[in-house]
Structure 1
Amino acid sequence: MSAKKAERPFRWRGIAFIRRALLAVFVFGQTAIACYYLLWILPYHGGTVLEQALLALFALLYSWIAVGFWTAVFGLVIRLTGGDRYSLLKRHTPEQLDATPLARTAIVMPIYHEPVQKTLRGLRAVYRDLERTGQLEHFEFYILSDSRDPDVWLEEQTAWQYMCDELGAEGRLFYRRRTVNLNYKSGNVADFLRRWGRRSRYMVVLDADSLLSGKTLVRMVQLMQREPRTGILQTNPTLINGQSLFARLQQFANRVYSPLFATGLAAVQMGDAAFWGHNAIIRNDAFMRHCGLRKLPGFGLFKGPIMSHDFVEAAYMGRAGYEVWLEPGLGQSHEESPPTLGDELTRDERWSKGNLQHLWIMLFGRKLRFAHRMAFLNGIMAYVASPLWLLFLILTTVEATQMALTPIDYFPEDHQGLFPLWPEWRPEWAIGLALSTAALLFLPKFFAIFDVLVRRQARQFGGFIRLFFSVMIEILISVLLAPVRMLAHSRYILGAFLNFSLSWAGQNRTEETTWRDALVSQAPGMVIGFAWSAFAWTLDTVFFLWSLPVAIPLVLAAPTCVLLSRVRAGRLFKKRGLLIIPEERQRSLLMEDAADQGRLSPHQDGLTSFEEAILSPRLNRMHQDLARLPRGVVRRESLNRLAQLCLDFGPDALTRSELSHLCRDRESLAWLHNAAWRSSPESFWGERLAVLSAMD
């Protein structure tokens, strides 16, 4: 009887329904009370169209932040009571999981114009950590490049070859570069699955800055083996390796706060979780059958390829009857933060458009689970909340202007009759409502401190005093950045609806923000903040004071961006023991391997990757092996012409596209190598050979 009971599939949907209903009661109940207070704070108690619009906006935005607050509360309660007993990890004992045989798993890393050495050092660290588990034979590694610049992808190929030699990974570590960029990252993964998806049962997707320990990878495969209805298992990545002050703030906030939010989110979503596109394991056969992404059939923004694919793939997996789980208990899953606010906002511009596309799928997607539709709504609100807050501020400004400059209207639009409507002001209620909103935003941060203290982990964050001051610093900076993000996201949302085109590029992970860039990018917000505050001063002193929390951060946006981008500032805080995370105090072997600064391949200073590929005998042979033979006489003649031009005048005489054609052609690589070595010392290639000889 017990054996049969153990074989039954776990029924979690009833538990999920109760938890979601409880969350809805808390959120909507609290929002209703807050709206009642606002109704009586407004001078005409919702008697005008303007006040009704303010009330509607407030209800939407207050409920949005209330969801985050109560999710954190759920997470705190669950963590204080020993964890969610219905999570995947809690359903199986460590002994059961250790005894579970593994299946072949592909670890794939799609890349596009990433820092080659740093990116592949991270992948090498994952390989070595898996090797230490003794389970390496069950895993294969795939580098999937979409890079277009030949200097970049030639360096990728060189680093891959040296990785194979160094690790003895021939036949286990593969490299492929697509010649046609179709559908961005999702198209790259789809191309891999079409070619090699049936070689393995599972696929682990990594980003260029991802790190996953070997122990975690093995545990993920074991969980998938024991949970055949699970299509996607998502870890909760923590941020690491922050150098700039901005990156250190982000990784500290992530490390301290995310355990509460991730635990609460996992408890509410259960098997209807979202997929974040990386640091997750996927069941290949289910993914290939059910998660193909068709182009959107609508208009403008809602027409064409889906940019943000991960939430959609999770929804399609759920529609097919498979489960998607977020498992916060799977540790040693890491990624990195953008180093500057500008880089974060550049990324958000792409994400905002992708998330807005989900509106079409949320409304018109067939047979999607309600929980996944709510996940779409949550992602949409992450960006739409900004223009809604901006509209709320505009309407409150209009309301304040009317009250200050126009006579009192005793018979507003919706109050016609014999008795006038007397305007009333309740400042004590307004203060209470403001404090309630602030509590929703900031109390979870102090819940996180309490959680750290209960778990006796304060020492890992520098001790209680430094932890507390670090949280206060993070709160101050988040307040300064909120209006800047609000304006930027509002602009992105407007641009998305107008269907402005966006470029897809690799992320900056190292550069600091210059004063010129900061002033140019933040000038509109600085002007708006100063003008709004000046207008408020002429209007009413109380309204001026109310405007300062938004106006001051906008006026200071440029110096804030510059300061936060500085690595020196980040190091200063680290030296003082502030914004410390446990991974910095006790680094794992995985992180030590990834931090190894040694190059994966020799590099000749003064030579580009293309020049090395032509001149180095070993590299030239390797690139020839990865190249192909062209078809057709016309194409051969065109390549011969380009090769001669490159020989006579150097690579600068060719476009990037023309260089790519040469590098993909085996005969051109061989001919250029032989011809370059026979060049006269005064020629371009003769001078390059002198550089190569000097380094040798």
Structure 2
Amino acid sequence: MTEVVNETPGDRSGTWRRTATVRRFFLTLFVVGQTVVASYFLLWILPYHGGTWVELGLLALFILLYMWIAVGFWTAVFGFVLRLTGGDRHSLLKRHPESELENTALAKTAIVMPIYHEPVQWTLSGLKAVYQDIERTGHLDRFEFHIISDSRDPNVWLQEQAEWHRLCEELGAEGRLFYRRRRVNLNFKSGNVADFLRRWGRRYRYMVVLDADSLLSAGTIVKMVQLMEREPNVGILQTAPTIINGESLFARVQQFANRLYSSLFATGLAAIQMGDAAFWGHNAILRVEPFMAHCGLRKLRGFGLFRGPIMSHDFVEAAYMGRAGYEVWLEPELGNSFEESPPTISDELSRDNRWSRGNLQHLWILLFGRKLRLAHRMALLNGIMAYLASPLWLAFLILTTVEAVQMTVASINYFPEGHQGLFPLWPEWRPEWAIGLALSTLSLLFLPKFLAIFDAVIHGFVRGFGGVWRLFLSVLLEIVVSVLLAPVRMMAHSRYVLGALLNVSLSWAGQNRTEETTWRDAFLTQFPGMLVGAGWSAFAWSLDPMFFLWSLPVAVPLVLAAPTSVVLSRVGLGRAFRKKGLLVIPEELTPVAVLNDARRARAVTDEVPVITAVEAAVIRPRLNQLHLALARTDRHPRRAALLAPLVQRLADKGPDSLSRSELSQVFCDRTALAELHRLAWRSAPDSFWGRRIASLGKTEPDE
């Protein structure tokens, strides 16, 4: 192991904090300065120049939305400039030569995958690929793997247990690959991780957190551990995941946009946040001891949405880690970090419905969290604005419509409310200014996309995107899709924000990863937005032809929302574009070992089972023995009395006779499960269990 560099963590902290302060100052200067100029133009575009309450409302909303867009624009510009000059010399990777990292010994590390009602074989095949990749490096002895489940459906968690056991036998991973399912599901994913840490956290110095769709290469994981060893003041180190395995046209567009644009945005974001970065909940490494000591999440004590467990835990945990004096870094140069995209816009919006509630909860922490660093408060605000921007945009459109109605239908008011003075306020129109402001706003949205093309050309990545012309056409296609989806997301997010603030109940479910959107589902889901778009456009036409033209960029995508969602969900179209070399990414053209392993493992699909996981756990002797070993043994007499009639009913009528909760109670109890196995194998041939045993094509003796 190499000797530690002379500079202390405190010295380094002071250096990067001074640099971060300067960078944040210039970012604020650019954003605020640009917003002031744009707001001045808007004031002179408005007929009464801000002389009415409606126009003041428009101005306030415009300022918020324009600043939100400008922050993203300048973040991308910062990233472009830094990449042009060789990268951020203050990043963690730039501090340590490759030889120094390679000679750094590894500490004991847990690789943790929380799961909840995921496709079992598909999910654990990804973890298998990570395991095999680490095994090839020769560092397997420094890592242990934990599958921590919150699944409630017995057909899911019994399959999880069986697949985990099969993987242990296949990989020879006994004593290194562990599975545990919580019987009491508290506090969502963060509660699951907290439960793991309470039981086993002290065994490890670090913890790498994966999502069900996460893949991390062994080289990246090893380098993360080595960086943490060299940087004792770093509490969380976050990678910038690349979206992969997109099949539908929607997923491929998302995958392409993420891969091409994230180089700029992630580099710029990392350079601005530095050691005050956010944690995204997965594809990251955490220092276990301070995480356990300082990042526990108490329930919110507010009202409605702001009362109860925190749903989106990651940003809050990063803020708490920073409050405790530890650094949180985003390191974009740590490559080969992957995740997957929802296959359809409907699935993305279903996920956003969950995420919006968690992000809006951060309002309470933003306002009342104690001793949080300003940078982490800004990260919380950034997450809130990701969803709050939609209702603000919708409100801006509504006030614009009100303004158009007042100017078209009502008589001109020369002394509007709020105007004081002896002289009338004459309405003025400056269409050329309005066009200029619109074009400048569009440039903030689309210029970073073309900067990303230049970045790919400069750094020699164009071939990985199919060549210059295919890259350019792919960007144009992505722009068209983003324009079509922006109003759809606006309407959906506005509804989610309103539902969250009204504290409407929400169920949490696993993510669809394969199914296409049907025409029926598309029209049922998108019809309200289509109706709003058509109605607003018709009203605009009746009001004024110019206002009608102004409404089209929002109205047309809403009217086309159903066919758009159906077309984008089609896997065949996604594959056709890939065959033409469009919307491709470098990882599809250049082999990556962990991706290849995952694809091979997931391509091996078992035959459709003739019996469910619940039925197999009862009648297959080997599986029954496995589940018996994992079931609990402590048995209170009262519990035995409650389970006895459930076991008998299940033996007589089959699984459909019990609820999901009742099934779980039976299969969690060793004595009940053993008795059920005995009764099933002694049942008559024409009974439910007799027919299930016969369907296996053999009669295995009871063991």
TM range (shorter): over 0.9
Give CA-to-partner distance per residue, 1:457-504, whole Å, 9 cap, x none: 111111111110110000001000000100110011111110111111
- In structure 2, distance between residues paired with 1:447 and 1:398: 37
Give CA-to-partner distance per residue, 1:412-435, whole Å, 9 cap, x none: 223333322222111111111000
Equivalent positions of 1:404-483 (< 5 A) are 404-483=408-487
- Tell me how large the CA RMSD over aligned residues is: 1.5
1:520 corresponds to which of 506, 521, 524: 524
- In structure 2, distance between residues paired with 1:52 and 1:558: 35
- In structure 2, distance between residues paired with 1:558 and 1:625: 50
Counterpart for residue 199 of structure 1: 203
Counterpart for residue 66 of structure 1: 70
- In structure 2, distance between residues paired with 1:598 and 1:421: 69
In structure 2, relative to structure 1, the CA distance for the partners of 1:520 and 1:7 (3 Å cut) is: closer
In structure 2, relative to structure 1, the CA distance for the partners of 1:604 and 1:637 (3 Å cut) is: farther
Give CA-to-partner distance per residue, 1:639-673, whole Å, 9 cap, x none: 22222211111111111111111111112222222
Q: Secondary structure at the match of 1:596?
A: helix
Partners of 2:207 and 2:288 within 8 A in 1: yes
Counterpart for residue 41 of structure 1: 45
How big is the shift at 1:680?
A: 2.2
Counterpart for residue 170 of structure 2: 166
Counterpart for residue 90 of structure 1: 94
Q: Does 1:177 align with 2:184?
A: no
Partners of 2:655 and 2:663 within 8 A in 1: yes
1:574 corresponds to which of 570, 575, 578: 578
Partners of 1:234 and 1:279 within 8 A in 2: yes
Q: Secondary structure at the match of 2:426?
A: coil
The letter of the residue matching 2:170 is E
In structure 2, relative to structure 1, the CA distance for the partners of 1:557 and 1:7 (3 Å cut) is: closer
Counterpart for residue 248 of structure 1: 252
How big is the shift at 1:311?
A: 0.3
Q: Secondary structure at the match of 2:697?
A: helix
The letter of the residue matching 1:504 is W
Q: Secondary structure at the match of 1:306?
A: coil
Gaps of 5+ in 1: none
- In structure 2, distance between residues paired with 1:695 and 1:450: 66
1:642 corresponds to which of 641, 646, 650: 646
The letter of the residue matching 2:390 is S
Partners of 1:159 and 1:600 within 8 A in 2: no
- In structure 2, distance between residues paired with 1:497 and 1:137: 48
Counterpart for residue 565 of structure 2: 561
In structure 2, relative to structure 1, the CA distance for the partners of 1:358 and 1:6 (3 Å cut) is: closer
- In structure 1, distance between residues paired with 2:305 and 2:321: 24
Equivalent positions of 1:591-602 (< 5 A) are 591-597=595-601
Counterpart for residue 381 of structure 2: 377
The letter of the residue matching 1:662 is V
- In structure 2, distance between residues paired with 1:159 and 1:79: 44
How big is the shift at 1:597?
A: 4.4
Give CA-to-partner distance per residue, 1:605-626, whole Å, 9 cap, x none: 3111111111111111111110
Q: Secondary structure at the match of 2:376?
A: helix
Equivalent positions of 1:119-134 (< 5 A) are 119-134=123-138
How big is the shift at 1:8?
A: 6.0
How big is the shift at 1:7?
A: 7.1
Counterpart for residue 81 of structure 1: 85
Q: Does 1:585 align with 2:589?
A: yes
1:211 corresponds to which of 194, 209, 215: 215
Partners of 2:9 and 2:232 within 8 A in 1: no
Q: Secondary structure at the match of 2:184?
A: coil
2:293 corresponds to which of 289, 294, 314: 289
Counterpart for residue 20 of structure 1: 24
Counterpart for residue 618 of structure 1: 622
Counterpart for residue 662 of structure 1: 666
How big is the shift at 1:6?
A: 6.5
How big is the shift at 1:689?
A: 1.1
The letter of the residue matching 1:510 is T
The letter of the residue matching 1:447 is L
Give CA-to-partner distance per residue, 1:78-132, whole Å, 9 cap, x none: 0010010000000000001001110000000000000000000000000000011
Give CA-to-partner distance per residue, 1:522-545, whole Å, 9 cap, x none: 111111100100011011111000
Q: Secondary structure at the match of 1:204?
A: strand
Counterpart for residue 349 of structure 1: 353
Partners of 1:286 and 1:317 within 8 A in 2: yes
Counterpart for residue 340 of structure 2: 336
Q: Secondary structure at the match of 2:581?
A: coil
- In structure 2, distance between residues paired with 1:413 and 1:465: 55
Q: Does 1:537 align with 2:541?
A: yes
- In structure 1, distance between residues paired with 2:600 and 2:401: 54
- In structure 2, distance between residues paired with 1:600 and 1:687: 29
Gaps of 5+ in 2: none
Q: Percent identity, aligned pairs only?
A: 70
- In structure 1, distance between residues paired with 2:684 and 2:461: 67
The letter of the residue matching 2:188 is Y
Counterpart for residue 320 of structure 2: 316
- In structure 1, distance between residues paired with 2:123 and 2:61: 44
Q: Secondary structure at the match of 2:412?
A: coil
How big is the shift at 1:688?
A: 1.1
Q: Secondary structure at the match of 1:544?
A: helix
When normalised by structure 2's length, the TM-score is 0.97
Q: Secondary structure at the match of 2:696?
A: helix
How big is the shift at 1:603?
A: 6.6
- In structure 2, distance between residues paired with 1:593 and 1:387: 43
The letter of the residue matching 1:432 is G
Q: Does 1:148 align with 2:152?
A: yes
Partners of 2:108 and 2:204 within 8 A in 1: yes
Partners of 1:316 and 1:368 within 8 A in 2: yes
Partners of 2:516 and 2:569 within 8 A in 1: yes
The letter of the residue matching 2:44 is W
Partners of 1:615 and 1:676 within 8 A in 2: yes
Q: Secondary structure at the match of 1:276?
A: coil
1:221 corresponds to which of 200, 215, 225: 225
- In structure 2, distance between residues paired with 1:414 and 1:195: 64
Q: Secondary structure at the match of 1:12?
A: helix
Partners of 1:272 and 1:318 within 8 A in 2: yes
- In structure 1, distance between residues paired with 2:660 and 2:502: 31
How big is the shift at 1:451?
A: 0.3
How big is the shift at 1:248?
A: 0.5
Give CA-to-partner distance per residue, 1:227-284, whole Å, 9 cap, x none: 0010000000000001111111100000000110000000000000000000000000
2:308 corresponds to which of 275, 279, 304: 304
- In structure 1, distance between residues paired with 2:405 and 2:603: 63
Q: Secondary structure at the match of 1:440?
A: helix
- In structure 1, distance between residues paired with 2:441 and 2:190: 39
How big is the shift at 1:587?
A: 2.6
The letter of the residue matching 1:436 is S
In structure 2, relative to structure 1, the CA distance for the partners of 1:441 and 1:598 (3 Å cut) is: closer
Give CA-to-partner distance per residue, 1:439-463, whole Å, 9 cap, x none: 0000000000000010111111111
- In structure 2, distance between residues paired with 1:532 and 1:602: 51
The letter of the residue matching 2:484 is L
Q: Secondary structure at the match of 1:328?
A: coil
